[in-house]
């Protein structure tokens, strides 16, 4: 099936659920479409970028935005899961990409701290990690995202369904839930 390429940019505090939700969506879509997941931790580890200053983050996210744009131009559904704390970076990604969907994965920092299995928040609170978003570096909430997910109030499955419904509504995918139901019957 031919799909229109799109960059689906998940943004939110560390440990808010961005990657978990995107992985589930990828699983649901990858039989029908070419789907790539660009995840913050994976990409940073691969390109060996450990510069978390504002300048370092800006450079890193511009690179990611360009990579996502190029993939989407080839019909790929590109899911980007990056904290991307500054509006200017998300606005840049939107400005260079014809098909862009911003999804704000909203979750209170207290819940993110509870979910943090790597102990990053604890290290940031103890001063061991500097420039940590939500602790000593700001997160600028999106002003006009296409979708807001509240992961402290909804299950992963509910969030996934909201994203799939939005992508269908915007014309990027066909109804995945209906296809699954039809196949199961």
Question: Coil, helix or strand for 45?
Answer: helix
Give domain status of residue 49, yes or no.
Answer: yes
In the chain, the percentage of residues whose pLDDT exceeds 70 is: 84
| 133 in any annotated domain | yes
Among candidates 70, 83, 101, 63, which has minimal Cα distance to 17? Answer: 83
Domain count, the chain: 1
Task: Tell me what pLDDT residue 171 has.
Answer: 93
User: In this structure, is residue 149 part of a structural domain?
Assistant: yes
Global confidence as pTM: 0.87
144: in domain:
yes
Tell me whether residue 63 is in a domain: yes
Q: Write the pLDDT tens digit of every residue in 130-167.
A: 888 889 888 999 999 999 999 999 999 999 999 999 99
- Do the domain assignments include residue 126? yes
Q: What is the mean pLDDT of residues 69-77?
A: 95
Whether 28 is in a domain gets the answer yes
Q: What is the CATH number of the domain that holds 71?
A: 3.40.50.300
Burial class (CB in 10 A: 0-12, 13-18, 19+), 174: middle
Candidates 18, 40, 34, 15; CA nearest to 103 is 18
Cβ atoms of 9 and 96 closer than 8 Å: no
How far is it, in rounded angstroms, from Cα 161 to Cα 157? Answer: 6
Instruction: Write the CA distances from 24 to 18, 95, 156, integer angstroms.
Output: 10, 27, 8
**Per the structure block, which two tokens stand in for 138?**
């700001």
**Inter-residue contact 82 to 20 (CB < 8 Å):** no
Confidence of residue 181 (pLDDT cuts 50, 70, 90): very low
Q: What is the mean pLDDT of the chain?
A: 87
32 has a pLDDT exceeding 80: yes
Catalytic residue set: 84
- 1 in a domain, yes or no? no
Q: Which class for 170: exposed (0-12), middle (13-18), buried (19 or more C-beta within 10 A)?
A: middle
- Residue numbers of the domain that contains 106: 6-184
- DSSP3 helix / strand / coil % (the chain, rounded to 5): 45, 15, 40
**Among the ranges given (19-28, 85-94, 172-181), the one the predictor scored with the smallest mean pLDDT:** 172-181
């Amino acid at each position: 099936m031919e799909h229109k390429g799109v960059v689906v940019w998940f943004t939110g505090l560390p440990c808010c659920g961005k990657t978990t939700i995107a992985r589930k969506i990828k699983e649901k879509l990858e039989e029908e479409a070419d789907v790539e997941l660009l995840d913050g931790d994976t990409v940073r580890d691969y390109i060996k970028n450990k510069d978390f200053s504002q300048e370092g983050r800006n450079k890193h996210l511009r690179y990611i935005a360009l990579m996502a744009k190029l993939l989407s131009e080839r019909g790929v559904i590109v899911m980007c899961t990056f904290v991307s704390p500054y509006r200017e970076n998300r606005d840049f990604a939107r400005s260079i990409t014809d098909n862009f969907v911003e999804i704000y994965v909203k979750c209170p920092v207290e819940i993110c701290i509870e979910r943090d299995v790597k102990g990053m928040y604890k290290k940031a609170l103890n001063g061991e990690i500097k420039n940590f978003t939500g602790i000593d570096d700001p997160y600028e909430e999106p002003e006009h995202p296409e979708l807001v997910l509240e992961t402290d109030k909804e299950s992963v499955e509910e969030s996934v369904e909201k994203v799939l419904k939005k992508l269908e509504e915007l014309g990027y995918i066909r109804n995945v839930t209906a296809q699954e139901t039809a196949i199961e019957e």
